Amino acid sequence: RMSLNIRPLFDMLDGQKTSKLMMTRLQDEAAEAAPADAAPAADAAPAADAAASAAGGAADVSFPEDYPNSVKHFLLIGCLGMFIGACVFLWLSMSRPKSSLPHVLIFMASAISCMSFYAMWTGIGVELKTTDVTPRVIFLPRYADLLMTQPLLLATIGLMSKADTSVMVSLIGYDILMVLAALIGAMNVAPFKYMWWFAGFVFLILIVVQLVQRFEGANDGYKLCNYIFIGTACVYPLVWMLGSEGTAALGLSQEVGIITVTDLVAKLGFGLYFLFNFDDVMGEEGGEEGMNQQSQQYV
């Protein structure tokens, strides 16, 4: 009888052991499932961190600290070259017994370019644009330089040929529109930026055509000055297309190097040849012979 009375006690103990065993198994299964569920989250965390770091990488770029050494050297060479040239042009202007407007224009063009190169060398107005297919460095002082100096050079060419007011205004207007189109294209993204580049190229063609039309009866010095301007003016859109603003086929150092050499030729080469041969190019020794006589004297 006593065994019959304690059997329910053993049954109860067995039931408690079974329930504890089941609880232990459930806890083990939950522990095994937890790492499997946490693994995708753990894998996603580095990817999110990488994306965040990539997005914030552009914000960490600052100029001139992140310039390659070659870019710094090219910009410094351009600044020093323009500074020396501006000093020479100022001396040539002040040494003349009578003031000359072409001398002043050439000096102003070189001084503006000197300040532009110094601004780029110190990182002022230099932006890293990451919204396009390829990141690109935009030198805003370069466009400010072209917007002011190329009209000065065109005005000088107009004074050489005694161009009338309508010709001067059209040449300078085309040039301003060309530079503005290139600037807007640089701030835009593909494929729209290429339409702005094409618009600027059309204005360049109009400038070249109008300059070439005035070659009739001009002397060799005037033609050479025009060739220098036309040749250098054609380099800028080519570098735009191949450089960081366009297809990024050129490296940043190559782009800055080509632009620096082009600027030195466009301002210093043009100015030195013109001012050291001023009387011959302007036709002051031989009257008005050799210059285009179809337009009035520009005042």
- The residue-averaged pLDDT of 103-113 equals 96
Cα gap 153→95, rounded to integer Å:
21
CA atoms within 13 A on the CB side of 274: 33
Judge whether residue 76 has pLDDT over 70. yes
Neighbours of 195 (CB within 10 A): 12
Cα gap 297→283, rounded to integer Å:
13
Summarised one tens digit per residue, pLDDT across range 181-208 is 999 999 998 889 999 999 999 999 999 9
Q: Which residues contact 273 (CB under 8 A, 6 or more apart)?
A: 221, 224, 225, 228
Summarised one tens digit per residue, pLDDT across range 23-46 is 555 455 555 555 444 444 444 444
Cα gap 158→134, rounded to integer Å:
40
Above pLDDT 70, what percent of the chain? Answer: 75
Question: What is the model's pTM?
Answer: 0.75
Residue with tokens 């504890």: 20
Going by C-alpha positions, the residue among 138, 140, 135 that lies closest to residue 57 is 135
Judge whether residue 140 has pLDDT over 70. yes
